[in-house]
Structure 1
Amino acid sequence: MLIRKLFKFENAHIVRNCTSDRCKRSIHGHSYKVELILKASKLDHGQMVYDFGLLKGVIKELIDSFDHAICFWNADDTAYIQACKDFSARWVSLPVSPSAEQFSRVFFFLAQEVLKSTNTQNGEGDVSVYSVIVHETDTGYAQSFQEDIDNDQMGILSLDQIEFSQQIQAEWSNNQMYEDLKNGIKFNNPQVELQVPKA
Structure 2
Amino acid sequence: MLIRKLFKFENAHIVRGCSTRRCSHSIHGHSYKVELLLQADALDHGQMVYDFGLLKGDVRELIDAFDHAVAIWSQDDPDYIASIRRHSERWVLIPVSPSAEQFSRLIFRLVEAALENTEMKSGESGVQLHSVIVHETETGYAQCFREDVVNPRMGLIDLDLIEFSPAITAQWTDPKLYERVKSKPTMIQTELEGLCS
TM-score, structure 1 as length reference: 0.91
Determine the structure 2 residue equivalent to 1:192.
Answer: none
Determine the structure 2 residue equivalent to 1:133.
Answer: 133
* 1:133 counterpart SS class: strand
1:9 paired with 2:5, answer no
Determine the structure 1 residue equivalent to 2:172.
Answer: 172
Q: Given that residues 93 and 163 in structure 2 are in contact (C-alpha distance below 8 angstroms), is that contact kept between their aligned partners in structure 1?
A: yes
Q: Distance in 1 between matches of 2:118 and 2:29?
A: 33
Determine the structure 2 residue equivalent to 1:62.
Answer: 62
- Please tell me the residue identity of whatever aligns with 2:157: L
Pair member with larger Rg? 1
Q: Distance in 2 between matches of 1:133 and 1:145?
A: 9
Determine the structure 2 residue equivalent to 1:27.
Answer: 27
For 1:141-177, what per-residue CA distance to the aligned partner results, in whole angstroms no more than 9, with x for missing partners? 1111011001011111121011100000001011111
Q: Distance in 2 between matches of 1:37 and 1:88?
A: 32
* 2:111 counterpart SS class: helix
For 1:80-131, what per-residue CA distance to the aligned partner results, in whole angstroms no more than 9, with x for missing partners? 0001100101000010000000011111111111112222121001111101
- Please tell me the residue identity of whatever aligns with 1:46: G
Q: Given that residues 37 and 131 in structure 2 are in contact (C-alpha distance below 8 angstroms), is that contact kept between their aligned partners in structure 1?
A: yes
Alpha-carbon distance, 1:182 to partner: 1.9
Q: Distance in 2 between matches of 1:171 and 1:82?
A: 22
* 2:106 counterpart SS class: helix
Alpha-carbon distance, 1:180 to partner: 1.0
1:89 paired with 2:89, answer yes
Greater alpha carbon shift after TM alignment, 87-96 vs 175-184: 175-184
Q: Distance in 1 between matches of 2:114 and 2:47?
A: 22
Q: Distance in 2 between matches of 1:32 and 1:17?
A: 21
Unaligned ranges ≥5, structure 1:
186-199
**5 Å matches for 1:103-118?**
103-118=103-118
Q: Distance in 2 between matches of 1:154 and 1:166?
A: 29
Q: Given that residues 116 and 184 in structure 2 are in contact (C-alpha distance below 8 angstroms), is that contact kept between their aligned partners in structure 1?
A: no
Q: Distance in 1 between matches of 2:71 and 2:46?
A: 38
Determine the structure 2 residue equivalent to 1:159.
Answer: 159
Q: Distance in 2 between matches of 1:47 and 1:155?
A: 38
Alpha-carbon distance, 1:181 to partner: 1.4
Percent identity at matched positions? 61
Unaligned ranges ≥5, structure 2:
186-197
* 2:32 counterpart SS class: strand
Q: Distance in 1 between matches of 2:89 and 2:47?
A: 42
TM-score, structure 2 as length reference: 0.92
Determine the structure 2 residue equivalent to 1:41.
Answer: 41
* 1:53 counterpart SS class: helix
* 1:119 counterpart SS class: coil
Count of residues in Structure 1 that have an aligned counterpart in Structure 2: 185
CA RMSD of aligned residues (A): 1.0
Q: Distance in 2 between matches of 1:155 and 1:113?
A: 18
